[in-house]
Every structure is written in structure tokens, then in C-alpha cells.
A and B are shown apart, each in its own frame.
Chain A
């Protein structure tokens, strides 16, 4: 395999305020005010976005199987891209790097879409309802 690390083995230091990271942190972590306050708590309508992805589910399994299948097709293809890679070493390394980045960016986009989706469908769940 010739997959190169995006950052050449040095940890990336992106802005900590990317939406995906924010969702994971502030909807799930931090002090829960309900634990302290009862009387004057205001239950405001929250447009919630479920930060958690259920990792072990049939959907996950099918997605993995699909990805294995894609991987396999790409390998057995032996088509033009492979030949070109052999011809131009430098360019192929660069190309692979682009692919990895593309995958990560696609995942981010998906989350942004999810955010937009949920925004159009406000749910009345309060924070506490999300905890379990």
C-alpha cells in the first residue's frame, strides 16, 4: 500500500471549533445544570444533533462490507490508473494523499449535511433526554 499520511506523521492542529468536534464535545460533555438547579431551569427548545454514531450496528457492518468490496474492485482493476502510477512515482504518491484527504473531507461534509437536516426538523428533546 502506498497510502501516505496527510500530515507526514505530525499531528494536525486544526481549529478546535469545527462543527463535528464541537458537537461531540458540548452536547455530550460539561456540567449538567439539571444536576444543580430545579426550580428556575428553563426548558428551551433545542435543535439537537445526535453526536453519537452507533458503531456496532448492521448499518456499520454493511458499510464496511461495501468498502471492502470497493477496495477489492480497485485492486483487481489493473486499469489505467495503476499503469500511470507505475510510470510516475512522484505523482502517484501525491494522488494517494489526495484520496485520503478526500475521504476525511467527505465525512465532514456528511456531518454538515446532518446538521442542516436536523435544523429543518426541530425536535423538542431536551438535553437530559439525550443522555441515555
Chain B
């Protein structure tokens, strides 16, 4: 085991302390530093620090194991720390909730066995960050469009209106299903168009699952930092062309949550 260059963070604890562990935000190159203003899930009490091993490091903070995790503050702290880091250095973000027992375990079980894979993945992320483009159909607009295009939807609407509510449940479900189908078809077409339009400015794209029934698109792209202005222009073009029918939001720069590696898959998801 080559631990000669390993450096324990100042928050390292004795191993017999079962009340605390280490929360892991993500992995970064070893030659970075944590700025004093960085806050994690432990707030002021448990500062964010690095556990280094050779050329990589885990971005961590100590955590009280007796307190449950997952408050809105915790979630936002995790995301903010990773996004702010990713704006400066390559980061492999962990999914929320990664906790290990102590600093030795992080070195022995995470950083040592996967050192080369992580280092290579970090190299691939150099100078790249993630952006997410979200589109949503305004309710009145999209429903009106569906009614205008689908005679069956208009027929069901009239039927529902003419009858008492307690006998229209089936008709309402059918109407809703029709609307859902129409929106799904729009979503597929609009998502495909968006991905195509962003392709020249992105290294890779990942289509996310919709998180709302009126989602028009939910797409993550990995972008070279110097193409960022081009990407923003392309997103604005898309928004302009769809003005009135899709509300578009651009989120980022983010840590590359959608473009991390999985073990045994070698190069990573963006190839």
C-alpha cells in the first residue's frame, strides 16, 4: 500500500469513535484546495476538507451519524458545494448520501483501488461542466392545442360537461390519457430537436426522465468551457423559436452528475 503521499484531513477522527463518519461529496484532483467559505452538510460545525491519495482526493466533511440526512439544507449544501467546485476544477460528483466510516477506509477502499480509473475520468472532465436545459409547456396553451387538434378530446370534454361528475370518471381518465399521449409525443419531438440543436456545442448529452407531466424537455449536456457562450446562444435560439409554447430554463454550470463513470465500464459515459 502506498500511503507515503497520503494526507489526512484535519477532521480525521480516532477509529473507535462510532458517532461520526465521513460524508463524501465527490472526487477531485489532489492538487486543489478547499476555500474557507466552502460549506457542506455539516455547516460550520464540520468543515469541508480533502482526503488525498496520490493524485486524487475525496471531498469530504465529518458527519454526526446520529442525525438523519436529507433536509432541504443538506440537499442544497451538497449540490452547491459540488457545483461551485465544478466551476473551478474537474469533479466526479457522488450521489447524495455517501458516507464512510473514516479517513483510512476512504483511502483503502475507495481512493487506492480505483485511483487510475478516477484519475482518468477526472482528466476527461478537465475544462468541461454540465448544463441542464429544462422546458415546460404552459398549461393553458398546451391543453388548448390538444383540444384544437384532437376531435376525440373535444368530444370527451363535451360528454364530461353534459353529465354529472360521478358517472364521468372513465371519460375523464380517457380524456386525460389522450392529453398525456399528445404531450408525450410533443415532448419526444421537442427533446429530440433540442438535443440536435445543442449537439454542435456539447461533448455529450443525456436525456433525463421528465419530472413533471408538462415537461417539454429535460436534457443534460456536457460542455467545454470555451463553448459555453455558444451553448447559451443555442438555448436562447430554441427558446425564441418556441416562445409562447415552451418555457425554457438553463441551469448551470453544474457538476457533471449525468456524465460520471460506472465501475467496470472503463472510459465513462460520455464516449
Point out residues on A near B: beta carbons under 8 Å. 1, 3-14, 16-17, 19-33, 35-49, 51-53, 55-56, 58, 60-69, 71-72, 99-100, 103-104, 107, 112, 115, 119, 122, 126-127
Give the 6 A-B residue pairs with the shortest CB-CB distance, closest first.
A61-B176, A47-B70, A40-B105, A9-B243, A29-B257, A65-B172
Q: In the complex, what distance in Å separates the CA atom of A72 from the CA atom of B260?
A: 46
State whether A19 touches B235 (Cβ < 8 A). Answer: no
Partner of B157, one of A6, A22, A33, A68: A68
State whether B69 touches A47 (Cβ < 8 A). Answer: yes
Which residues from B are CB-within-8-Å of A3? 138, 140-141, 244
Which residues from A are CB-within-8-Å of B208? 24
Are A42 and B99 also in contact (CB < 8 A) when A16-B83, A26-B79 are? Answer: yes
Partner of A5, one of B132, B179, B243: B243
Binds A, one of B6-14, B32-40, B49-57, B209-217: B209-217
Closest to A96 in B: B140
Kindly identify, within residues 162 to 206 of chain B, every residue whose CB is under 8 Å from any CB belonging to chain A.
Answer: 171-177, 179-180, 184
Which residues from A are CB-within-8-Å of B171? 65
Partner of A11, one of B96, B109, B172, B236: B236
Partner of A44, one of B65, B95, B105, B144: B65
Which residues from A are CB-within-8-Å of B172? 61-62, 65-66
Closest to A19 in B: B72
Partner of B254, one of A13, A25, A67: A25
Least CB distance from B269 to A in Å reads: 11
Which residues from B are CB-within-8-Å of A48? 70
Q: In the complex, what distance in Å separates the CA atom of A8 from the CA atom of B239?
A: 9
Partner of B102, one of A30, A40, A62: A40
Closest to A8 in B: B243
For residue B28, CB closer than 8 A to chain A, the reply is no
